[in-house]
Amino acid sequence: MEQVDHLVVGAGMSGLSYAVAIRDEARARGRGDPSVLVVERDHEPGGYCKTIVKDGFVWDYSGHFFHFKHSEIEAWLRERMPGQDVRTVVKRSFIRYAGRDIDFPFQKNIHQLPHDEFIACLYDFVFRDERAPRGSFLQMVHARFGASIAEKFLVPYNEKLYATDLDALDEDAMGRFFPHADLKDIVRNMRHPDPSSYNATFTYPRGGAIEYVRAFLRELDASPRASLSLGEQLVDIDLKKRVATTTKRTIGYGALVTSAPLPSVLEAAHVEHAREVFTWNKVLVFNLGFDDKGPRDVHWTYFPDRARRFYRVGNYDNIMGDPRMSLYVEIGARADETLDIDAERARVLDDLRAEGFVTTQRLVAEHHVVMNPAYVHITKGSLAETARTKALLEEGAVHPVGRYGGWTYCSIEDNIVETRALAARLSA
């Protein structure tokens, strides 16, 4: 049986970040490099940060744009991306509503709606019942913004995204990523537009999101006691003996850090849990390349209209300044929903034509992927069960991290911050 100091399950951003961070922590404490083994069930690293290059187009599995709050993390990554053209972009995003583009976020820009709808939104906002219950996401958006803002955008858009009953989601299901606004914000925005949000500025490399993954891989390759094994899946964890079994071997570990979906880790570790509280959606992503330019000066557009199949469309070409339209189109679906890819693609193209994204352009390249899980459903039940079961896992030195390991809503930068903090704690 092999023995390693740190076994890392998952070679996405979270796992690779931890593998590098634990080495750096050990070196900083003068202990030398620990032994680190990263296992990944796929045959290439990156997780959902994979990039596809096809017929001159560069696409990710979905739009993975980095919104850095920590300048030192951005600098660290850029130093390890030699020669890469990394663009820093001020976001231009809109909500397509009733044939017009409303600046994002909707609740701060209701003055851009048709006059009667603006009055309805403003009236419902001012005279909303602030004492109304807020225990669910659905109740929260009604209580905070009133019926009109909720039903014109916040409810239909998020129903399309999460593919679930919003009344089942916790009120804080989106955490800091949900754009709040008060009356002063709404009125001020009428005269002084303020597009600020958590992702108002983002960076993106010409080579795609995989370049961030490669930055970590370069560091991993430079660690003499670290290794990466692809095509190797976690099968079983013995928490008492601190032994993991994969499809290739048995491994004793000092610490096991995993970004795999929490329910699958609990199954592997034989931890009793309420399976029914862990639910999620899946997202079908179409990456579409066309022979000519389309809309300009827009990076992504949100679609609350239930008549449109997609909830969001992003323009890679406007980020990189390319002469041909390059889109990613996202469709939310239930985890158990059967998707007819050909029919979905035809529907998407029809909807893009109806919305004016496609006029005379011809589709010349295409890629699609189904991300399952995509967005986890954060409910009161999942929050309680996540906290309880993670404590049980940690007793056996198993540490779930990331969006799926932690069963949470977070950014990729959040994953890097989290895994660096975990490395510091385990090294102390």
Render 89-128 in DSSP notation, one character per residue. Answer: EE--EEEEETTEEEESSGGG-GGGS-HHHHHHHHHHHHT-
Instruction: Dig out the tokens for 344 from the structure.
Output: 């979905």
Residues 220 and 60: beta-carbon distance below 8 Å: no
Residues 134 and 154: beta-carbon distance below 8 Å: no
Q: Do the bridges between strand 51-54 and strand 243-246 make them parallel or antiparallel, or are there none, so unpaired? A: unpaired
- Exposure string for 8-20, b = 16+ CB within 10 A, e = fewer: bbbbbbbbbbbbb
pLDDT at 196: 64
What's the start-to-end Cα distance of the chain, in Å? Answer: 27
Q: How far apart, in whole angstroms, are the C-alpha atoms of residue 186 and residue 210?
A: 38
Residues 136 and 166: beta-carbon distance below 8 Å: yes
The DSSP bridge partners found for residue 237 are 244
pLDDT at 198: 58
pLDDT at 197: 61
**What Å distances lie between residue 333 and 20, 311, 344, 349, CA to CA?**
35, 11, 12, 18
- Exposure string for 267-295, b = 16+ CB within 10 A, e = fewer: ebbebebeeebbbbbbbbbbbbbbeeebb
Q: How far apart, in whole angstroms, are the C-alpha atoms of residue 145 and residue 147?
A: 7
Residues 215 and 81: beta-carbon distance below 8 Å: yes
Residues 393 and 265: beta-carbon distance below 8 Å: yes
Q: Do the bridges between strand 100-103 and strand 93-97 make them parallel or antiparallel, or are there none, so unpaired? A: antiparallel
Residues 376 and 400: beta-carbon distance below 8 Å: no
3-state secondary structure of 351: helix
pLDDT at 180: 86
Of 259, 370, 205, 262, the closest CA to residue 12 belongs to 259
Q: How far apart, in whole angstroms, are the C-alpha atoms of residue 161 and residue 369?
A: 16
Q: How far apart, in whole angstroms, are the C-alpha atoms of residue 249 and residue 267?
A: 19
The DSSP bridge partners found for residue 101 are 96
pLDDT along the chain (428 residues), means of 10: 97 98 97 97 96 96 86 94 92 94 95 97 95 94 96 98 98 91 92 73 92 96 96 98 98 98 98 98 98 96 98 96 97 98 98 97 98 97 98 98 97 96 97
Q: How far apart, in whole angstroms, are the C-alpha atoms of residue 320 and residue 318?
A: 6
**Contacts of residue 138, Cβ cutoff 8 Å, sequence gap at least 6:** 150, 155, 165, 166, 167, 169
Q: How far apart, in whole angstroms, are the C-alpha atoms of residue 60 and residue 300?
A: 15
Of 35, 319, 40, the closest CA to residue 205 belongs to 319
Q: Do the bridges between strand 243-246 and strand 250-258 make them parallel or antiparallel, or are there none, so unpaired? A: antiparallel
Q: How far apart, in whole angstroms, are the C-alpha atoms of residue 275 and residue 337?
A: 19
pLDDT at 63: 78
| Global confidence as pTM | 0.95
The DSSP bridge partners found for residue 363 are 290
pLDDT at 377: 98
3-state secondary structure of 60: strand
Q: How far apart, in whole angstroms, are the C-alpha atoms of residue 398 and residue 254?
A: 9
pLDDT at 159: 98
Instruction: Dig out the tokens for 197 from the structure.
Output: 């949000």
